[in-house]
Chains A and B, each alone.
Chain A
Amino acid sequence: GEDVEQSLFLSVREGDSSVINCTYTDSSSTYLYWYKQEPGAGLQLLTYIFSNMDMKQDQRLTVLLNKKDKHLSLRIADTQTGDSAIYFCAERTLNTGKLIFGQGTTLQVKP
């Protein structure tokens, strides 16, 4: 079946790099996404990667995809206090086209 797993919590110091990890099960996934959710807000799309890519960089964000291990990661360089939020990984499957979300990783950035 379709399942996406994430670690629940990550704490870093301001200025450090953050790495949030995600694993998924559906090998037919076409696109994989990272969304950010701040308290009381909806989901904000950060970035996405097509399944035939290994890496995508967008300013402070780097996405790495290991398709063999079905592992996705999001690296945030020079993490700021404004990056504190919940980060959701999601896969879009070929079969259904719908998004399957992980349970979210809470990122805490300490000054």
Chain B
Amino acid sequence: EAGVAQSPRYKIIEKRQSVAFWCNPISGHATLYWYQQILGQGPKLLIQFQNNGVVDDSQLPKDRFSAERLKGVDSTLKIQPAKLEDSAVYLCASSTPDRAHEETQYFGPGTRLLVL
């Protein structure tokens, strides 16, 4: 079974530029998550989708961040314009309920963003 795919793996941009990240979840997983992991910290949830609907985007800085999952499969996360403090690893994860109704989250390799 293929894991969660993300691209690009690395991105360097200057502040005030725009950037977009792509995620392809595990096949059949209805729930998709985007996390931000700043160096030295644990991941923090930015947004959670259930199919193509948003479940939780309370921690997403909506003035500059946006995300979509139009067909309920792939997702893109965009930052426009980027700030220095957006330098982080952006992790995508997906999950689906198992027989015990547990939704274990499986993570992709992440996209490392450096804003100069």
On A, residues with C-beta under 8 Å from B are: 4, 31, 33, 35, 40-45, 48, 50, 88, 90, 96-99, 101-104
* Contacting pair A41 B102 (CB below 8 A): no
Interface residue stretch chosen among B69-77, B79-87, B107-115: B107-115
Main secondary structure, interface of B, reads: loop
* Closest-CB distance, A42 to chain B (whole angstroms): 4
Contacts of B42 in A (CB 8 A): 4, 88, 90, 101-104
- The 8 tightest CB contacts between A and B, nearest first, are A101-B42, A42-B107, A43-B107, A42-B109, A98-B45, A42-B110, A103-B42, A101-B43
B24-46: CB near A (< 8 Å → 1, else 0) gives 00000000010000001111110
Main secondary structure, interface of A, reads: strand
The CA of A35 and the CA of B110, in the complex, are separated in Å by: 15
Identify 13 new A-B residue pairs, CB closer than 8 A, beyond the known A42-B91, A43-B107.
Answer: A4-B42, A31-B102, A33-B104, A40-B109, A42-B4, A44-B107, A48-B102, A88-B43, A99-B43, A99-B45, A101-B43, A104-B40, A104-B41
Interface residues in B50-107 by Cβ distance below 8 A to A read 56, 91, 93, 102-107
Contacts of A4 in B (CB 8 A): 42
Contacts of A103 in B (CB 8 A): 40-42
* Contacting pair B104 A48 (CB below 8 A): yes
* Closest-CB distance, A63 to chain B (whole angstroms): 14
* Closest-CB distance, B54 to chain A (whole angstroms): 13
The CA of A104 and the CA of B48, in the complex, are separated in Å by: 22
Interface pairs (16), CB distance under 8 Å: A31-B102, A41-B109, A41-B110, A42-B107, A42-B108, A42-B110, A43-B91, A43-B107, A45-B106, A45-B107, A48-B104, A97-B103, A98-B48, A99-B105, A101-B42, A102-B42
